[in-house]
Amino acid sequence: MKEFYPKMGRVILHVDMNSFFASVEIANDPSLKGKPLAIAGDAKQRKGIIVTCSYEAREYGVKTTMQLWEAKKLCPKLIVKQPNHERYRLVSQAIFDLLRKYSDLVEPVSIDEGYVDITDCQDLGKPVQIAEMIQKDLLKTLDLPCSIGIAPNKFLAKMASDMKKPLGISILRKRDVPAVLWPLPVIEMHGIGEKTAKKLELIHVKTIRDLAHANDLQLQSAIGIHGIRLKERANGIDPRKVDPDAAAVKKSIGSSITLPRDISNQSELLSVLEKLSDNVASRLKRKQYVTKNVSVMIKYKNRETITRSRMLENPIVEARDIFKAAKTLFIKNWNGHPVRLLGITGQDLLKADHSFEQLSLFSYEKVAKKEPLYEAIDQMKKKYGSSILRTGAESPHPENKKKS
């Protein structure tokens, strides 16, 4: 059996559930099996966006993020179910509990995908046999299909799991990279979105092969230090270990300031909170995290300190959203006394590329529409400074206006 496992290195699986939300609904209601199904908003509404859909729906051209009315036009018999996030969370827990039967080294990276290090699982069989056992176990136990990638590192395992869907098992070795990955458009590489692909195209990097051979200085100039990491992965290099504790570690990013004088003017304090929100948002984006929990710290003139936090329905990263949550906390908990120090912290962080946003169909639409606005604001602040745009929070409160 040892011949199927490397003497040096790892064997890693990437387990990716197929059409997870739709599959969970089908498992819950077998009458939906074989029918075109979409998870979206209220079936009576024509507005909204498809969150996910069954493979039967995809055969009609229905796609994720498609407008619901457009999907129904393509597939008049489309069945629409509203998301049931509590059900999905419970099923997700069951999936990872099942994976831990095969290895202690299981790292969830989102609600429906995770890595399993099986390097020390030789007694269970060949890597392909273990993948087959997991796939069959998930089908038998939870009635859920998945695709599995087998590789020597996390990046290649992730790329392999995308090769055959649904119910695929694919092996991707480092020596296969030039033939299998390099011919692909760079946007098909895990970790590269449309914005990054457009930036890379400006330096004539159009395929994964181009990225694998790109000039380091040009890459850093185009997309920053992240470019070097992407180049390594394009060459099949990824030293990250499967970390079972990664999801449990509660990281935090915050910003605080001791005020130059004790302040009791609400408008001034909210202005400070807004600047702190900008700082936290910038740091989150730089480190590629989103936050699900915002906390505010208030230290009064008499040195009494209180910290209050708020769990959020969806992960956030934009300064405007952080300020909104912080402002609500501050107004609710400030006692009106002079403040010496203010702080904002984003807690329960998630990696941006693995974050799961529990969006209703309509909030999903709302976020999508705001995205160009957020990008424009970020560009203006970078060019002219953070004070170029001010919100209503910085306008004097009527009771605090000086009489002219």
Binding-site residues for Mg(2+) sit at 16, 112
Question: Cα(148)–Cα(114) distance, rounded to whole angstroms?
Answer: 10
Question: Cα(183)–Cα(172) distance, rounded to whole angstroms?
Answer: 15
Question: Cα(163)–Cα(158) distance, rounded to whole angstroms?
Answer: 9
Question: Cα(145)–Cα(119) distance, rounded to whole angstroms?
Answer: 24
CB atoms within 10 A of CB 372: 9
Q: Which residues pair with 12 in a beta bridge?
A: 117, 151
Of 16, 22, 103, the residue nearest 57 (C-alpha): 22
Strand 305-316, strand 289-300: pairing? antiparallel
Question: Cα(172)–Cα(180) distance, rounded to whole angstroms?
Answer: 8
Write the DSSP symbol of residue 207. B
| Exposure string over 267-286, b if 16+ CB within 10 A, otherwise e | bbbbbbbbbbbbbbbbebee
**C-alpha dihedral (239, 243, 246, 247), degrees to nearest 10:** 120
Binding residues: 16, 112
**Cβ(268)–Cβ(275) below 8 Å:** no
Helix (H, G, I), strand (E, B) or coil at 164: coil
Cis-peptide into 108, omega within 30 deg: no
Catalytic residue among 25, 56, 107, 113: 113
> Does the annotation mark 113 as catalytic?
yes
Question: Cα(67)–Cα(381) distance, rounded to whole angstroms?
Answer: 32
Of 171, 359, 346, the residue nearest 255 (C-alpha): 346
With vertex at residue 98, the alpha carbon angle to CA 94 and CA 104, rounded to the nearest 5 degrees, is: 120
> Could you tell me where the beta strands, DSSP code E, fall in 18-76?
37-39, 52-53
Helices (H), 235-344: 266-287, 319-333
Helix (H, G, I), strand (E, B) or coil at 116: strand
Q: Which residues are catalytic?
A: 113
